[in-house]
């Protein structure tokens, strides 16, 4: 069992790295893609379709935009899980008035016998957002990413399609 955290900017290659790492770790056993995205508009529907096409049939799909603890606790403990992405999970919970319990998700992942790979966006390297809600999201995202990185056995940072192991 390993916890792996992969972060990077938008379109940096983090999902591609997570996909290949999940298949490598599973070594032919069950792989599960846990999607946090919701098809709330045409643009997001197209993004989800693109990700599905890139994954192909390599993964079983679980769609859970908010309750990752439940999903990680109730589905095959031996499978290799790829959770994509934590940033959307955080946003989904903030927008619905819920709480994104990072430590609860980490604890649920640690109870599994299979490996869990978490994907997240790095949003703090750009300009300071003008809107208070955007600044709050940036801050909460940064704290979340630090929490997951600290709890993970391996951490990768992706830039320009290149993944660098930093832990």
**What are the pLDDT digits (tens) for 25-57?**
998 889 999 999 887 888 877 887 887 777 778
Cα distance between residue 154 and residue 43, in whole Å: 32
pLDDT of residue 73: 95
Which residues of the chain have a pLDDT value below 50? none
Query: Phi/psi of residue 86, each to 5°?
Result: -65, -30
**Cα–Cα distances in Å, from 75 out to 55, 71, 100, 110?**
20, 6, 20, 14
Catalytic hit among 2, 9, 16, 51: 51
Catalytic, 51? Answer: yes
């Amino acid at each position: 069992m390993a916890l792996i955290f992969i972060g990077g900017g938008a379109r940096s290659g983090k999902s591609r790295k997570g996909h290949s790492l999940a298949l490598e770790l599973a070594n032919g056993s069950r792989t599960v893609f846990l999607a946090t995205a919701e098809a709330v508009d045409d643009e997001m529907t197209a993004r989800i379709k693109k990700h599905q096409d890139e994954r192909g049939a390599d993964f079983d799909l679980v769609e859970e935009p908010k309750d990752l603890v439940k999903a990680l606790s109730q589905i095959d403990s031996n499978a290799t899980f790829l959770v994509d992405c934590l940033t959307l999970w955080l946003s989904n919970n903030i927008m619905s008035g819920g709480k994104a319990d990072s430590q609860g998700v980490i604890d649920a992942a640690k109870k599994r016998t299979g490996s869990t790979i978490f994907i997240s966006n790095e949003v703090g390297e750009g300009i300071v957002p003008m809107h208070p809600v955007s600044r709050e999201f940036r801050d909460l995202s940064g704290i979340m990413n630090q929490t997951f990185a600290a709890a993970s056995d391996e951490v990768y940072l992706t830039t320009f399609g290149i993944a660098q192991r930093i832990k």
